[in-house]
Amino acid sequence: MMVPTIFFFLQFSTLLYLSTVSFASTEEATALLKWKANFRNQNNSLLASWTLSTDACRDWYGIICFNGRINWLNITNVGVTGTLYDFPFSSLPFLEYVDLSMNQLFGTIPPELGKLTNLVHLNLSINQISGSIPPQTGSLTKLETLSIFDNHLNGSIPVEVGKMKSLEVLTLESNNLFGPIPTTLGDLTKLKVLDLYSNQFSGPVPSELGNLKDLTVLELSHNQLSGSIPTVVGDLTELKILDLHSNQLSGLIPSELGNLEKLTDLALYDNQLSGSIPIAVGDLTEIKILYLYSNQLSGPIPSELGNLEKLTDLALSDNQLSGSIPITLGNLTELKRLYLQSNHFFGPIPSELGNLKNLTGMDLSGNQFSGSIPITLSYLTKLKRLYLQFNQLSGPIPSELGNLKNLTILELYANQLSGSIPITLGDLTELKILYLSSNQLSGPIPSDLGKCKKLIDLRLRRNNISGSIPPEVGKVQGLQGLFLSSNHLIGQIPKEFGKLTSLVNLFLQNNNISGNIPEELGSLTKLESLDLSNNRLNGSIPMCVGDFVHLFQLNLSNNKFGQKIPKDIGRITHLSVLDLSHNLLDGVIPIQLASLLDLSNLNLSHNGLSGRIPEEFESLTSLQDVVLSYNELEGPIPNNKAFTNASLKGNKSLCGC
């Protein structure tokens, strides 16, 4: 009789258990449906499965159960628009995993969150949640991951967070949190990731963070942290990423950082750090990214940085570093980006930099480098961007630079380079930017530049370049800026320029260019600035200038243009500067110029203009500077405040009547 009794008891217990499970699941499902009923968007296809007629544990989207109780809720990126006010915290005591990220949740986090004491993972990231983090969050002592990044949280981090002793990941970046970083975070000894990026935290970096011996990521950038970097950061020997950039940190870079042998990323840029770069940084042999730029660092680059053979990015720009570039940097054969601009480096550019075969970007601009451009730079065949401007480099541009077939930007301006422009630059068919201005370059513009079909900006101004402008430049049909001013160019403006229909800026002033303005230039309808001043151009100003409807600046002064001012200029309604002075223009000032309501500077002086100043000029309220002197104008002066101080001398008879 014992066996049937036991069997009956087991049957009864099972039925009782199933009855309990069924009741609990119904209660949980009903509670979730009440929350769903408050969503602003009820037509959510992914949550259509949430109905009482279906089994929450088997049929509901994003739900996983354990022993009939809801254990897992994952409705990330399903388009929910609602709040957490009606979330059934009390009805879901067995929840361990909650992911509501990438929705449109708004409002505050209710303190009832603290009732989910079995929670292991909570992700509310990428929503519109506001308000503060409730102190009750500290009750979640089993929580291992807390992610509420990219919301609108404000207030401070509650000190109670330090009670979450199981926490391994804490990510609160991209919010509006403020106040000091609580020292109680130092009690989270299991923490591996601490990310507080892009908030408004202030005060010092707590030295208590030195207790987090398992930490692999410390991300505190884009805040308002001040004071020095605590030396105890050097105790975080598991650290792989240390990011403190864009704060107000000052003082020295601790040499103790050299203890972080597993570090791969060190970003301390955009602070107020001073002193020298510690030699101990050369011990970080696993490091790949070293960003120390935009500080107040001084002294030389330690030659020990040449030990960092895994380094891919080295950025030391915008500091007060000095001395020469150590030749040991030539050992960094994995380096892809080298940025040393805006310091006080001097001496020659080491030829050893030619060993950096993986380099794609190098910026040495804004220093005091002298000597010639090393030919070895031509070995850097992966290079896309090369900036050497604002130095004291001399000698010729190496023709070997034509080997850099991947180059898109070459900036060598503001140096003392001499000789001719190498025709091999025409082999740089990927080139988009070529700046050679403000040097001592001579000889002609190579026609081979016409092969650089991707060029959008060509600047050769302020050199000693001679000869005529090669018509092949007209083949570079994507060109937006052409700056050839202040050279010794002769000949005519090539009619092929009419093909440069993308051109926005054309500057040819201060040369010896002659002939007419080609009618073909009428195709350049995107022009915003046209300066042909101080040349020997003649003929009439073509009517096609009126087609330059986007023009802000038109300067044709100091040429030999004759005949009348074309009335078509009145169609350039956005024109701000119009200078036709020092020509041979005659006839009357066209009344159509009164349509130039944005005009601020008008100079028609030193011509042979006659008649009256159009009274319609009274409407040109933007005028600030007017020069009409040395013409044959007569009659009344327009009632416009700009004419009060206008230069009108050397005319027939002008009066303010």
Condensed to tens digits (0 to 9), the pLDDT of residues 92-109 reads 999 999 999 999 999 999
Separation between Cα atoms, residue 552 and residue 48, nearest integer Å: 58
Which comes out higher in pLDDT, residue 198 or 40? 198
Query: In terms of pLDDT, which residue wins out, 4 or 49?
Result: 49
pLDDT the model gives residue 71: 96
For residue 110, what are the contacts with CB-CB under 8 A and spacing of at least 6? 84, 85, 87, 89, 134
Q: Which of 54-58, 154-158, 495-499, 529-533 has the lowest mean pLDDT?
A: 54-58
Whether this model's pTM surpasses 0.75: yes
Query: Does residue 396 carry a pLDDT above 70?
Result: yes
| Predicted confidence (pLDDT) at residue 230 exceeds the cutoff of 60 | yes
| pLDDT score for 654 | 80
**2-6, 284-288, 409-413, range with the lowest pLDDT:** 2-6
Close Cβ partners of 536 (under 8 Å, ≥ 6 residues apart): 512, 513, 514, 559, 560
Collect all residues with Cβ–Cβ distance below 8 Å to 167 and sequence separation of at least 6.
Answer: 143, 144, 145, 146, 161, 188, 190, 191
pLDDT by residue (tens digit) across 448-507?
999 999 999 999 999 999 999 999 999 999 999 999 999 999 999 999 999 999 999 999
User: What pLDDT score does 43 carry?
Assistant: 82
Where is 529: in which H helix or E strand? strand 529-531
Q: What is the pLDDT of residue 652?
A: 86
pLDDT for position 17: 37
Q: Is the pLDDT of residue 12 over 80?
A: no
Whether 165 shows a pLDDT value over 80: the answer reads yes
Residue % of the chain over a pLDDT of 70: 96
Cα end-to-end distance, the chain, whole Å: 131
What integer is the mean pLDDT of 509-526? 96
- For the ranges 204-213, 383-392, 482-491, 642-651, the lowest mean pLDDT is seen at 642-651
| pLDDT, position 2 | 38
DSSP 647: B
Is residue 19 very low, low, confident or very high in pLDDT (cuts 50, 70, 90)? very low
CA-CA distance, 447 to 425, in Å (whole number)? 10
- Model confidence over 613-633: pLDDT tens digits? 999 999 999 999 999 999 999
Using pLDDT thresholds of 50, 70 and 90, give the confidence band for residue 397: very high
- Three-state SS string over 140-167 comes to CCCCCEEECCCCEECCCCCHHHHHCCCC
| Mean pLDDT score of the chain | 94
Residue 71: strand, helix, or coil: strand
Cα distances from 88 to residues 85, 105, 112, 636, in angstroms, run 9, 15, 9, 84
Distance CA 346, CA 371 (A): 10
Buried-state track 588-616, b at ≥16 Cβ within 10 A, e below 16? ebbebbbbbeebbbbbbbbbebeeebbee
Residue 119 pLDDT > 90: yes
Domains in the chain, CATH or no CATH each? 41-224 (3.80.10.10)
Can you tell me the distance from the alpha carbon of 242 to that of 248, in angstroms, rounded to the nearest whole number?
16
Higher-pLDDT residue of 24 and 551 is 551
Structure tokens at 160: 């109670």
pLDDT at 656: 61
